[in-house]
Amino acid sequence: MPSFLQFTFRKNVLCVFLVGFAPPLNFPVNDKIQHFCVFFVLTLVFYWIFDLSRRRAAQLTFIVCFLLGALGSEFIQSFLSYRTFDVYDIAADWVGSSVALMLDSLYHKRRLEKLRTLRYGPVPTEQDLEMQVAAAAEQEESEETTERPTD
């Protein structure tokens, strides 16, 4: 686990709890944009904390950031007298987490493909295989013409 990611995630979670459960502040920014941005950043960072396969990282990130983070924070806010439960906040959290999870997963896939290419070389495509077969056939023909005895 990269320690700088753990530190960044912990710092982000602390900020989210301080701002999320504090009495509401009057910012001139839409509340839903704040929810989107916060969960986008949290999901973006959380995905890379553990060294897992792409599928496991996506599943763990979904469970922690969306189910525990988004739903849990709104559930807790419903018990606070100065906060209210809002379904649209959950929707904004979900969209932010989903976009970040999609970007993380796409980047992870691209990174794995690049590492695989560096390790094993490029994977031949169907066109490459057809070209190899055609080249082998041409080579056989040229060998046959050179081997024929001339009278």
3-state secondary structure the chain: CCHHHHHHHHHHHHHHHHHHCCCCCCCCCCHHHHHHHHHHHHHHHHCCCCCCCHHHHHHHHHHHHHHHHHHHHHHHHCCCCCCCCCHHHHHHHHHHHHHHHHHHHHHHHHHHHHHHHHHHCCCCCHHHHHHHHHHHHHHHHHHHHHHCCCC
* Regions in the chain scoring below 50 on pLDDT: none
| pLDDT at position 151 | 54
What pLDDT score was predicted for residue 106?
93
What is residue 127's predicted lDDT score, i.e. its pLDDT?
A: 73
Q: What percent of the chain has pLDDT over 70?
A: 79
**pLDDT, position 51:** 82
Can you give the pLDDT at residue 4?
63
The pLDDT of residue 128 is 72
Question: Where exactly are the structural domains of the chain?
Answer: 3-146
